Structure 1
Amino acid sequence: MTINNILCPTDFSDMANRAISYAAEMALKYDATLHLVSVINEIHGFDSFQVLAITPRDIHEHMLKITQEKLDELTSDIRPSIPLHTAVLEGHPSTEITRAAAEFDCDMIVIASHGRTGLEHILIGSVAESVTRHSHCPVLIVK
């Protein structure tokens, strides 16, 4: 089996950081490119809030900027010898992760078993489970 591209999504949780460590080690071992991605949900209804000083569009753009900054911080902890690509994706996490894996021609996805906790986890469901079901490539789930 040849592994040239590894996708590792993050929500910046401790579990996701653990998955990144696994993905980085695998990328080093297989001389593969590591694709770090984070997904933010789209905000709808921009036009309804134009009377506010800070609009949902402003909040959305700020979220994009902050998320990219966090990804950039993570890359500083990864060995420089590992080819690295980062991307901020917008939409439903499992959908965007599986789409990105196909787009980046990934041979494997390394994902945390869970990130968020509590009610948010129950409402959103298991992203890792959905990615495993819909991915075109093998998925390594890190506990």
Structure 2
Amino acid sequence: MYNHVLIATDGSELATRGLVHGLALAKGLGATVTVVTVTEMWSAWDMAHEARMSEHNPVDEYEQRAKAAARRILDTAVNLAQEQQGLDVQTLHVADQHPAEGIITACQSQGCDLIVMSSHGRRGLGRVLLGSQAAEVLAHSTVPVLVVR
């Protein structure tokens, strides 16, 4: 049914639930797995603040921190896949993109036919104020999306 599953994670406890579910599903299907994490572009506001605090190169510092955080998230996902499901997974860090856009870009570039991700399941004002990456992915994806609450 599905041959290549993209599992999106930000390393949070909620995203890990989606990761675990996606790994089990992929194993049951015999599918290839790519785990993706997306880091957003640096904020001009934040960089201006860092520059005032006498950071030498705040953009470079941000990029290094983002890469290190992505590496930790993806290493944790690889370990979880191997320990819980005995799966070898591919990993991908998409830098400098809005999360929903990065997930869709990763899906297209990797040739995935299913996206698995978690959602808080917020409704009403909470969703409007905080946004929903899952809702954006659902709205713009050309492949099925499995949302784990």
TM-score w.r.t. length of structure 2: 0.80
Gaps of 5+ in 1: none
Q: How far does residue 62 in structure 1 lie from its aligned partner after superposition?
A: 2.1
Deviations 1:33-60 (A, max 9, x none): 1111111111266x975x7335221221
SS of aligned partner of 1:37: strand
Match of 1:18 in 2: 17
Q: Distance in 2 between matches of 1:128 and 1:24?
A: 18
Quote how far apart the aligned CAs of 1:67 are.
Answer: 1.5
Alignment-derived partner of residue 34 in structure 2: 35
- Please show how residues 1-143 of structure 1 align to structure 2 within 5 Å: 2-43=1-42, 49=51, 52-79=55-82, 81-90=86-95, 91-114=97-120, 123-143=129-149
Give unmatched runs, 5+ long, in structure 2: none
- Percent same amino acid among aligned pairs? 27
Q: How many pairs are equivalent?
A: 140
Amino acid at match of 1:19: G
Tell me the TM-score normalised to structure 1 length: 0.83
CA distance in 2, matches of 1:63, 1:122: 26
1:99-134, CA deviations, whole angstroms, 9 ceiling, x for partnerless residues?
A: 11111111100110139xxxx975451000010111
Q: Which has the higher helix share?
A: 2
